[in-house]
Every structure is written in structure tokens, then in C-alpha cells.
């Protein structure tokens, strides 16, 4: 993940930049933010007169770093570093999740916030992009400590979030309970119950039906569309999934229901393989009960690195950033990669996969189902009128199909990858809004 650095890339970026690097960046260690900057550079030639505004996308609008002190159960005081970055708000309030992870850095949150700007524009929901995080391993905290951490963090970032300013949501290691605590803390501070300040809440607190499954459902929906374009029969496809939580687990379940064989699954505890296809509901139940997949009966446990050599048609990276790199991209057997995670493929790996004829459906469209149903949740909270799950899923599928079709058309028109095509569509929307609003003062 963020520790995996590519020095050749960062040197290229530093050399090609016409502007001095901002003080918070180290030219030799740009990480995910460096990857994002290169993705923007790749799209700039296609932006026409809007290229004049492109520098806007290369610096976040607002970044807040906060100290989050909490009293641990043993009576000592611990301090954690928290972040909230609002990358762009040209098209609407900031929107994006909050992750709790021991390796989170400001540079990583900057990249994740920028990818939210691109994603929200790609599916045309009226938001800018934002992201937050706390540098903590939540597995080491008790429930009480986790609640105190969440509440203090929410209070600290309370000066920049709000239902019409910036709306957090779940991301890696955060869930509906964390959102309930965030909503309550913000509401206590402003003196009114403000359900619209976060999305991904429990259903009984203004959450939306279908939100928990939405990212995985979106991954499946664009996967079906992409497979049609390359003549791949989903009902016969072999699928390998990295990360089997809320995104990979749901996507895996939907693919297996459509007849695909889930032949390999990797998570932070190990990697399993079964050529005849895993029983996904049983595997999900096993993970829930035992916290690991490697003890699932009747499967072959393989080395983590062997995951990249698995014979399959579809690969779904649904864990963390920088998993598909120049070192393993050449080994991938799949014809189709659908990015459930944010930022799983480096630009060098993108080039290798493109040369090898592997179609990559990029994160900024593939995993946009989550934020799309977050948008539905926010709208439902504002109107206090709640929709049925069927209606939510039907609207989600339509938005994902439309987004995929537009991006596919642009990729054909300009003969570019789906990632560059998505960036073209999204950057044009963001920069057009920027231009219409004009420069203040
Ligand atoms: N964390 C999710 C993402 O990366 C969802 C964000 C949201 O719903 O605001 O897209």
C-alpha cells in the first residue's frame, strides 16, 4: 500500500512539473498522491480550453490535520493523528469516506479525496470530493475506546463538515456504528439532530436500504457491462477476488449467483484456491464466525504471492492501494480487472495491462456504487421520505450502466484506457463547473 513507492515515477513527476512541489510533499516519496498527479497529467491533453484550470485539480482545496487524544481503558492518554481533506467543491459539498488504518498518511488521504472528486463527477452526483482518516489500528481498541476516538475526531473536524459542507461515510475499517457515533457527536455539537451529516448510517437512524451492498453491487453491474464488450460470458467466468469484506464479499456473492466460479480469494489472513469454485455464502459465514478464510474446509491454501498467477477470467482487487504493480501486472491471467478498491493499480501496471490486452474498469467508476447510494441516502434524509430497496437498486444499476456506457464511448473515441476516459469525463465536468463559477474575488 502507501509504503510501496515507485521512485522512477516520482522522479519523472518532479522533473516534468512546471511548478515547485508544495512543501508537504517529498519529491522522492509521493506515494498515492503522485499516482493521482500522473493520472491527471495523462488526461490534460484531452481537456481543450479547460486545461487552463487543470492546476486546480493538482492541489486540494482544504486540508485539516487534527490531534485526536483519548483516554484508554487502562487510564493512560493516547494521541492519534486524524485528517480530513476536501479536494474539490466546485460541483457541490465535499463527499467521501473515513478510514481507520495504522498506515494512513496525509498524502494517501489527499489522493483518496481527489479520487472521490473524479468518482462523484464520473457518476454525475452533485458532490465534490473529500476523504478522512485516522492513523490507528482499530483492532487494538476496545469498543469504548473506538467510540471515544470517533467522537473526538468528529468534534475536531466539526469545523469543516456538515450536511451541506462535507459529508463523511464509511471506508476501510469504519461501519454504520461509527457513522451513528459521528452523526450523534455532530448533532450534539450543533444542537439539532442532523442525519444528513454522514451517510452509511444504520437504517433506523436515516440510513438507506441497499447502502451496505451498494459498492459490491456497482462492481458487479459494471463487470457485467464490461464483460459484454469483450465477449466474456459471466455465467462461465472464473473470478479471483482480493479483499472479501463489504466490497469484495458482496461482489463475489453476486458473481457466483450469476453463475461465475469464484476460484481464489485473498484477504489479510491469507489466500485460498478452489478450481471448482468456492461456496460464497458458506465462505462469508465462515469468515464472520472465525475471522479468517484460511481455515475454510476443503480448499487449497496458497502463498499470497501466488494469487497473482491464478488462472482466471476476472480479477477484482477490493482491498487497498498499489496492489497491482509493475512487478506482478505481467503475471495476471485475467482478461478483465474490476477495481473494487481505491487506487489498486499503479500507472506502470496500467500500461503493462493495456499492452497485454487486459481491460481495466477503474476504481473511479467501478466502485462508485457506494457513493451513489450515499447520495440517495442524503436525498432521503433531506426529504424525510424513504424509498424501497427495489427502487434504490434499480436507480443504482441505471446510474452505473449509464456511467460505464459514457466512459466506454469516450475510450473508443480517443483510443484511451477506461481510466483515462473516466478522468476525461470527470475532469471536464469539474473544470466546467469551476469555469462557470469563476475565480473569486
Ligand atoms: N468510501 C466509499 C468510497 O470510497 C464511499 C464514500 C461515500 O459514500 O461518501 O467511495
238-242 β-sheet, strand order:
300-302, 270-273, 261-267, 238-242, 314-317, 336-338, 359-361
| One domain, residues 75 and 128 | yes
Average confidence (pLDDT) over 143-164: 98
Q: Does any domain span residue 435?
A: no
Decide: 171 in ligand 1 pocket, CB within 6 A.
Answer: yes
Claim to verify: residue 171 and residue 219 sit in the same structural domain: no
95: Cβ below 6 Å to ligand 1?
Answer: yes
Residues 276 and 303 in one domain: yes
CA–CA separation, 248 and 269 (whole Å): 15
Please indicate whether residue 131 is annotated as part of the active site.
yes
Q: Is 125 within a domain?
A: yes
* pLDDT score, position 257: 98
Distance CA(376)–CA(191), nearest Å, equals: 25
Q: Is the pLDDT of residue 61 over 60?
A: yes
Question: Please, which pLDDT band fits residue 7 given cuts at 50, 70 and 90?
Answer: very low
How many Å lie between the centroid of ligand 1 and the Cα of residue 373?
Answer: 9
Determine the atom of ligand 1 nearest the C-alpha atom of 199: 8
Q: Is the peptide bond before 320 cis (omega within 30 degrees of 0)?
A: no
Distance in Å, CA 206 to ligand 1 centroid: 17
| pTM for this model (two decimals) | 0.93
- Ligand 1 in reach of 125 Cβ (< 6 A): no
Domain membership flag for residue 437: no
Q: Are 119 and 190 in contact (CB under 8 A)?
A: no
In this structure, is residue 12 part of a structural domain?
A: yes
Query: Does ligand 1 lie within 6 Å of residue 364's CB atom?
Result: no
User: What would the mean pLDDT of 241-270 be, rounded to a whole number?
Assistant: 97
| Residue 233 included in any domain | yes
pLDDT for 3 equals 38
Is the pLDDT at 22 greater than 90? The verdict is no
Assess whether the C-beta atom of 166 lies below 6 angstroms from ligand 1: no
Report helix, strand or coil for 345.
strand
**174 and 30, same structural domain?**
yes
Q: Which of 194-224 are b and which e, b meaning 16 or more Cβ less than 10 Å from the residue's Cβ?
A: bbbbbbbbeeeebbbbbbbbbbbbbbbbbbb
Q: Same structural domain for residues 97 and 128?
A: yes
Instruction: Check if the beta carbon of residue 319 is closer than 8 Å to that of residue 173.
Output: no
Dist. CA 170 → ligand 1 center (Å)? 6
* Tens-digit pLDDT profile for residues 377-418: 999 999 999 999 999 999 999 999 999 999 999 999 999 999
Q: Is 367 in the pocket of ligand 1 (CB under 6 A)?
A: yes
Ligand 1 nearest-atom number relative to CA 95: 9
The three cell numbers locating residue 233 = 460470458
Residue range of the domain that includes 222 = 212-366
Domain contains 240 = yes
Q: Are residues 169 and 304 in the same domain?
A: no
Residue 233 pLDDT exceeds 80? yes
> 59: which residues sit within 8 A by CB, 6+ positions away?
22
Q: What is the CATH number of the domain that holds 347?
A: 3.40.50.720
For residue 226, report the distance from its CA to the centre of ligand 1, in Å.
22
pLDDT (mean) for 19-33? 61
Q: Are 388 and 396 in contact (CB under 8 A)?
A: no
171-193 pLDDT per residue, tens? 999 999 999 999 999 999 999 99
Res 195 pLDDT > 60:
yes
Q: Is the CB of 266 under 6 A from ligand 1?
A: no
pLDDT attached to residue 31: 83
User: Among the options 95, 119, 131, 253, which is catalytic?
Assistant: 131
Average pLDDT, the chain: 94
Which residues, other chains included, contact 391 with Cβ-Cβ below 8 Å and sequence gap of 6+? none
For 358-370, what is each residue's pLDDT tens digit? Answer: 999 999 999 999 9
Instruction: Assess whether the C-beta atom of 96 lies below 6 angstroms from ligand 1.
Output: yes
Number of the ligand 1 atom closest to the C-alpha atom of 368: 10
User: How many angstroms separate the alpha carbon of residue 338 from the centre of ligand 1?
Assistant: 17
Calculate how far, in angstroms, residue 364's C-alpha sits from the geometric centre of ligand 1: 11
Q: Is the pLDDT of residue 20 over 80?
A: no
The percent of residues above 90 in pLDDT, for the chain, comes to: 92
What distance in Å separates the CA atoms of residue 270 and residue 134, rounded to the nearest whole number?
A: 25
Amino acid at each position: 500500500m502507501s509504503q510501496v513507492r515507485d521512485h522512477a515515477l516520482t522522479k519523472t513527476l518532479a522533473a516534468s512539473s512546471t511548478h515547485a512541489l508544495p512543501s508537504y510533499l517529498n519529491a522522492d516519496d509521493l506515494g498515492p498522491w503522485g499516482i493521482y498527479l500522473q493520472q491527471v497529467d495523462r488526461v490534460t491533453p484531452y481537456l481543450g480550453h479547460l486545461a487552463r484550470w487543470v492546476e486546480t485539480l493538482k492541489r486540494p482545496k482544504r486540508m485539516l490535520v487534527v490531534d485526536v487524544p483519548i483516554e484508554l481503558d487502562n487510564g493512560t492518554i493516547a494521541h492519534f493523528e486524524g485528517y480530513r481533506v476536501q479536494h474539490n467543491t466546485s460541483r457541490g459539498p465535499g463527499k467521501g469516506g473515513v478510514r481507520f488504518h495504522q498506515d494512513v498518511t496525509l498524502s494517501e488521504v489527499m489522493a483518496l479525496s481527489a479520487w472521490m472528486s473524479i468518482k462523484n463527477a464520473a457518476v454525475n452526483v452533485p458532490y465534490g470530493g473529500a476523504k478522512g482518516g485516522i492513523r490507528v489500528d482499530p483492532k487494538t481498541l476496545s469498543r469504548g475506546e473506538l467510540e471515544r476516538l470517533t467522537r473526538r475526531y468528529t468534534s475536531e473536524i466539526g469545523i469543516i463538515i456538515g450536511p451541506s459542507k462535507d459529508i463523511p461515510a464509511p471506508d476501510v475499517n469504519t461501519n454504520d456504528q461509527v457513522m451513528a457515533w459521528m452523526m450523534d457527536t455532530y448533532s450534539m455539537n450543533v444542537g439539532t439532530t442532523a442525519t444528513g451529516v454522514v451517510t452509511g448510517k444504520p437504517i433506523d437512524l436515516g440510513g438507506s436500504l441497499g447502502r451496505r451492498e451498494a459498492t459490491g453491487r456497482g462492481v458487479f453491474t459494471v463487470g457485467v457491462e464490461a464483460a459484454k464488450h469483450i465477449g466474456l460470458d459471466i455465467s462461465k467466468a472464473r473470478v479471483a477476488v482480493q479483499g472479501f469484506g463489504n466490497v469484495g464479499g458482496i461482489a463475489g456473492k453476486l458473481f457466483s449467483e450469476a453463475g461465475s466460479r469464484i476460484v481464489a480469494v485473498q484477504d489479510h489472513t491469507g489466500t485460498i484456491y478452489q478450481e471448482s469454485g468456492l461456496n460464497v455464502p458458506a465462505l462469508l459465514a465462515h469468515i464472520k464466525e472465525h475471522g479468517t478464510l484460511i481455515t475454510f474446509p476443503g480448499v487449497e491454501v496458497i502463498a499470497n504471492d501466488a494469487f497473482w498467477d491464478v488462472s482466471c477470467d476476472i480479477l477484482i482487487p477490493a482491498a487497498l492501494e498499489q496492489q497491482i504493480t509493475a512487478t506482478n501486472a505481467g503475471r495476471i491471467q485475467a482478461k478483465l480487472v474490476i477495481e473494487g478498491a481505491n487506487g489498486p493499480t499503479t500507472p506502470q501496471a496500467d500500461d503493462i495491462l493495456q499492452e497485454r490486452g487486459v481491460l481495466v474498469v477503474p476504481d473511479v467508476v467501478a466502485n462508485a456504487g457506494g457513493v451513489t447510494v450515499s447520495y440517495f441516502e442524503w436525498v432521503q434524509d433531506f426529504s424525510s421520505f424513504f424509498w424501497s430497496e427495489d427502487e434504490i437498486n434499480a436507480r443504482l444499476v441505471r446510474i452505473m450502466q449509464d456511467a460505464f456506457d459514457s466512459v466506454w464511448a469516450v475510450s473508443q473515441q480517443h483510443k484511451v484506457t477506461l481510466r483515462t476516459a473516466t478522468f476525461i469525463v470527470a475532469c471536464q465536468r469539474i473544470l466546467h463547473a469551476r469555469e462557470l463559477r469563476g475565480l473569486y474575488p
